[in-house]
A and B are shown apart, each in its own frame.
Chain A
Amino acid sequence: MLDISKLERRWLKYKIKKILPYTLLITTVTILGFTIPFVLSNRHSSKAMIPLKKDAIKVKAPNTENDEGAMVLEPSMHFIESMDTPSTPITNTPTSSTKPAPTPKHSIAPIASLPTPTPAIAQTQATKAPQPIVKGKLTSIKRDDTAFDIHEIEDRFKDTSNPNLGVYIAKYHYDHGNYSEAYNYALKTNSINNSIDDSWLIFAKALVKLGKEEQAKKTLQLYISNSNSQAAKNYLDTLDKGGSK
């Protein structure tokens, strides 16, 4: 006598057993099919990055070889030099993104002196100027990597939101005449830390340079009411007297 229900159960078991290896095989192939190209593409991208670095290193070598034997290429370090100079506002520059430097209020230059070119900037301009090649003498050419450096610092500022970096970048742009950029970075820095005198001063100075003197005054008054900053007061007085434009 046929036990149909039992037979149907056995048939189902048999079917599952029969199909299972194929299912596993197809699943494995599918997974591998998706995984292998992904892994390979990752390898390609990591390999592609290495030659880029090599190229970056190679850039320096051909320059020295192609130029005259007397020419020596050196990376520009003037912005670090300017940081070391206590009399310039750039000395406030942070050197590390991981360890934010404290804001040295005492090193802030007087507001009145800001528009005037600092000795460091003057030195930078001097290095930028082409030097005449004198025959029989070694000529040293200093490469200007300032633009590259500021972008790097901007990236670091984006990553770390370190207000000291923000102040540095704002000052840099202000010094280079990029007042709108200086305004932007000072604004960003103020939003991160609203108690940095330098940042507010740059912010106000940038506004003045952009023709918004009244707004600069209002901003300074607001800041003075909150912080009682002497530097801000000095600059506001200067503005009221109609100077420092």
Chain B
Amino acid sequence: MEHSLFLKPRDLFMDVVNPKDYVQIDSVSHMYQSLKTSVQKPLKMILLYGRPGTGKSMLLHKLHHDLSKHQKVCMIDIPIIDEDDFLRVLAHKIYSYASREALTLTRFLELSTAVNYPVIPIVLLDEAQLYSPSLMEKIRLISDARALKFVIALHKTDNEDILAKEHFQTRIWESIELQNASHEELKIYIQKKLLKANCFDVASMINDKNIKLINKLTRGNYRDSNKLMFSLFSLYVWYEENNPRKIKYNALATKFIEMAAIHTGLIHA
């Protein structure tokens, strides 16, 4: 099992957001560059939205990874629902202010004026759709005071028009929408990820038919694609060890892709 051809590819697709695993795809790369440019502008809030699995979290982590070398950047990937906790965590992470007591908005703004950064610190909020309207209002007030700059990533749903919400209507902001991967983008994503890790043999096994099926099953969702590929290579690892005759090395087997989709819940069987 240690020498399995599919062990390394399996670990590559583990569902973990790591900026080092960021894969350059033209469309995503373009989004990232526009996000980086927007961050440099005197904007108070930047909105990053899209359907689940479009790479919002990855972009935020990548941005955090790249910007933190030059300026103060705070990444909150797990939403802090409690308003007092939210301000306390921000005060601690940005101003290194530790307090066990609840922190008021006024006190937080006093702290921001007391600690003077040459460049306004950036706060990256992932899964922002989980924040309450009152907390969003506080975030708006903080950004209005130019104490902090916020990059907010949230899910776009069919039932809800995020941009129509009151706290996003009056602010000076920029919005970037991320799209699901197309067939070609998914192909590049998977191939590049494998080639980056020198998994040439496995990369050569993936053909257009395989990609088409994977894209159909995951609907271009990067997270689902990662899960599917992880399950798929887990299956290959098992078969390579227990029943290697069933493996054909010229292409990924449709049967195994479908089995992986059943295992990950993409196919209800």
Is chain B a partner of chain A in the same complex? yes
Minimum Cβ distance to chain A for residue B200 (Å): 26
Scoring B residues 228 to 269 as 1 if CB is less than 8 Å from chain A, else 0, what string do you get? Answer: 000100110011001000000000000100110011000101
- Taking a contact as CB atoms closer than 8 A, the residue among B235, B258, B269 that contacts A4 in the complex is B235
Interface residues in A1-26 (C-beta closer than 8 Å to B): 2, 4, 7-8, 10-11, 13-15, 17
Chain B residues near A8 (CB-CB < 8 A): 259
Q: Number of B interface residues, CB 8 Å?
A: 13
Chain A residues near B269 (CB-CB < 8 A): 10-11, 13-14, 17
Chain A residues near B259 (CB-CB < 8 A): 7-8, 10-11
Complex alpha-carbon distance, A13 and B234, angstroms:
21
Chain B residues near A11 (CB-CB < 8 A): 255, 258-259, 262, 269
Complex alpha-carbon distance, A13 and B269, angstroms:
7
Interface-central residue, B238, B239, B255, B262, by most chain A CB under 10 Å? B262
Chain A residues near B255 (CB-CB < 8 A): 11
Minimum Cβ distance to chain B for residue A16 (Å): 10
Complex alpha-carbon distance, A212 and B269, angstroms:
89
Minimum Cβ distance to chain A for residue B242 (Å): 8
The residue in chain A whose Cβ has the minimal distance to the Cβ of B267 is A14
Tell me if B's interface is mostly helix, strand, loop or mixed: helix
The residue in chain A whose Cβ has the minimal distance to the Cβ of B269 is A14
Tell me if A's interface is mostly helix, strand, loop or mixed: helix
Complex alpha-carbon distance, A2 and B260, angstroms:
10
Complex alpha-carbon distance, A2 and B262, angstroms:
11
Chain B residues near A7 (CB-CB < 8 A): 235, 259, 262-263
Minimum Cβ distance to chain B for residue A213 (Å): 91
Minimum Cβ distance to chain B for residue A10 (Å): 5
Complex alpha-carbon distance, A2 and B256, angstroms:
13
Is the Cβ of B235 less than 8 Å from the Cβ of A2?
A: yes
Is the Cβ of B267 less than 8 Å from the Cβ of A2?
A: no
* With known contacts A2-B263, A7-B263, A14–B258 Cβ distance under 8 A: yes
Minimum Cβ distance to chain A for residue B144 (Å): 52
Complex alpha-carbon distance, A99 and B239, angstroms:
83
Chain B residues near A14 (CB-CB < 8 A): 258, 262, 267, 269
* With known contacts A11-B255, A11-B269, A4–B238 Cβ distance under 8 A: yes
Complex alpha-carbon distance, A234 and B262, angstroms:
101
Minimum Cβ distance to chain B for residue A8 (Å): 7
Interface residues in B199-243 (C-beta closer than 8 Å to A): 231, 234-235, 238-239, 242
Interface-central residue, A7, A10, A13, A15, by most chain B CB under 10 Å? A7
Chain A residues near B238 (CB-CB < 8 A): 2, 4
Chain B residues near A2 (CB-CB < 8 A): 231, 234-235, 238, 263
Complex alpha-carbon distance, A107 and B259, angstroms:
94
The residue in chain A whose Cβ has the minimal distance to the Cβ of B231 is A2
Complex alpha-carbon distance, A2 and B234, angstroms:
8
Complex alpha-carbon distance, A91 and B263, angstroms:
94
Is the Cβ of A10 less than 8 Å from the Cβ of B234?
A: no
Complex alpha-carbon distance, A14 and B266, angstroms:
12
Complex alpha-carbon distance, A15 and B257, angstroms:
13
Complex alpha-carbon distance, A15 and B235, angstroms:
18
Interface residues in A173-229 (C-beta closer than 8 Å to B): none
Complex alpha-carbon distance, A7 and B235, angstroms:
10
Chain B residues near A10 (CB-CB < 8 A): 259, 262, 269
Scoring B residues 72 to 115 as 1 if CB is less than 8 Å from chain A, else 0, what string do you get? Answer: 00000000000000000000000000000000000000000000
Interface-central residue, B231, B258, B269, by most chain A CB under 10 Å? B269
Interface-central residue, A11, A15, A17, by most chain B CB under 10 Å? A11
Minimum Cβ distance to chain B for residue A67 (Å): 83
Complex alpha-carbon distance, A13 and B258, angstroms:
12
Interface-central residue, B235, B239, B259, B267, by most chain A CB under 10 Å? B259
The residue in chain B whose Cβ has the minimal distance to the Cβ of A8 is B259
Top 10 A-B residue pairs of the complex, sorted by shortest distance between their CB atoms: A14-B269, A10-B269, A11-B259, A7-B259, A10-B262, A13-B269, A4-B238, A2-B238, A2-B234, A11-B258
21 A/B residue pairs, CB under 8 Å, sorted by A = A2-B231, A2-B238, A2-B263, A4-B238, A4-B242, A7-B235, A7-B262, A7-B263, A8-B259, A10-B262, A10-B269, A11-B255, A11-B258, A11-B259, A11-B269, A13-B269, A14-B258, A14-B262, A14-B267, A14-B269, A17-B269
